[in-house]
Amino acid sequence: MMPRLALCTLMLVSVGLAFPSRADKVLGDITIPRKGGESPNVTPEAVFPHWKHRLYFKCTACHEGLFQMKAGADNITMDALRNGKYCAVCHNGKTAFQVGFEYCDVCHVAPNGRSGK
Amino acid sequence: MHGKRFLKPGVILALLFTLALGSGCAVETRHKILAAVFEHVPPAGQQNAEPAPYVGHPRRQPPYKPPPAAVVRLKAYKPAFKFDWRGILLKLPKDAAGGVDWVAALEDDKIEPKAGLDPSSQDLYPVMPLDVQLDPKGLPMFDATFPHKPHTEWLACDSCHPKIFKMKAGADPITMAKIFAGEYCGRCHGKVAFEPTTGCARCHLALAGPQ
């Protein structure tokens, strides 16, 4: 019993360490408002962390070929992502994690920093 | 007297001889002989039957033990991040306001951002080391210096020119009010680049004091 308890605790702690920065608000985080009028209690709004992408790409990698330099200028929808547009150009499972039901809460982060699932 | 004394052991011997003879006979014959001599002889063919095992009856039922619950095994979860984002964020150089100093991070080779989505992409535009002085009249403490170098490290010429800034120094009526309102420098500064409210001395170099 004790090894199982210790394993569960270890797993929870490691999961907590793996996703620490979602509660932090960093300059450049862009909240993409929901367009379908859904309640944010169902799935919270998606947050785009600029700083994580600046580690690997200069501005010119995405701007303005992929995204306009104005928040809300692009009509980013999940349907568009499933068709391989916008974020899904890289988030395709090869360059970066794939857009899909396994990774909802990576982008759809609740305002309190907790998972929205 | 003498004859009777001899007869008794003779009868016993004859009986033993009959038994010994019968034990070597067939099953039915042996049973007939044994049944003639002894009582309670089991019927033929059951001599070697194994006794039924003893089954004890417990007084109480054993305590109820629920059946083991079905274990739900999820598909192996591929972790999205193998990165320690908080650790990376803490290691990045910071400016005076506590935000990430991206210019310093690039100069110190803490990061190696690519100019395109393709990993082999090269910079399309050269880094241009040109400082533009934007000096307001009569306010020498607020002389502003725009350094092209850190901007061209991240951006291309057509990111700003000519949509946001005309390609002529002093051609745009840039004021701090307009920057705070999100025009000119405020298109990026305060949104993804350092905030104009806290980074005064990064443009108004005189405010930083003597170096």
What would the pLDDT profile of A4-55 be if each residue is shown by its tens digit?
666 656 665 555 444 444 456 789 999 888 877 666 667 888 899 999 999 9
Per residue of chain B (211 residues), give pLDDT as tens: 555 666 688 888 888 887 777 667 777 787 888 888 888 777 766 656 677 777 777 677 777 888 777 765 555 445 555 667 888 899 899 998 889 999 999 999 889 898 888 878 888 788 999 999 999 988 988 999 999 999 999 999 999 999 999 999 889 999 999 999 999 999 999 999 999 999 999 999 999 888 7
Tokens at A93, concatenated: 């499972």
| Of the partner residues A18, A26, A50, the one whose CB lies closest to the CB of residue B79 | A18
Chain A interface test: which of B191, B194, B197 (most A C-beta within 10 Å): B191
Class of domain A21-107: alpha beta
Provide CB contacts within 8 A for B5, sequence distance 6+: none
A86: alpha, beta or left, given left = phi > 0 and alpha = psi -120 to 50?
A: left
* Residue B141 belongs to some domain of the structure: yes
- Confirm or reject contact between B117 and chain A (CB < 8 A): yes
| Amino acid B190: pLDDT | 93
| Best residue of A19, A59, A67, A117 to probe chain B, by most B CBs closer than 10 Å | A59
Confidence at residue A104, expressed as pLDDT on a 0 to 100 scale: 85
Do B26 and B106 share a domain, yes or no? no
Range of the domain at B185: 93-208
Identify whether residues B106 and B179 lie together within a single domain. Answer: yes
Q: Of B88, B114, B191, which is closest to A58 when you measure between CB atoms? A: B114
Is A73 at the interface with chain B, CB within 8 A? no
- Is A42 touching B (CB cutoff 8 A)? no
B15 and B98 in a single domain? The answer is no
Q: Examine residue B146 and state whether it is found in any structural domain, yes or no.
A: yes
Enter the tokens of residue B192.
């993804």
pLDDT at A38: 67
User: CB contact, 8 Å: A117 with chain B?
Assistant: no
A101 in contact with B, Cβ within 8 Å: no
Same domain, B27 and B116: no
Pinpoint the alpha helices (H) of A57-108: 59-62, 78-82, 104-107
Q: Do B100 and A50 touch (CB under 8 A)?
A: no
pTM for the whole structure: 0.65
Measured distance CA(B171)–CA(B176) in Å, rounded: 16
ipTM score for this prediction: 0.70
Number of domains chain B is built from = 2
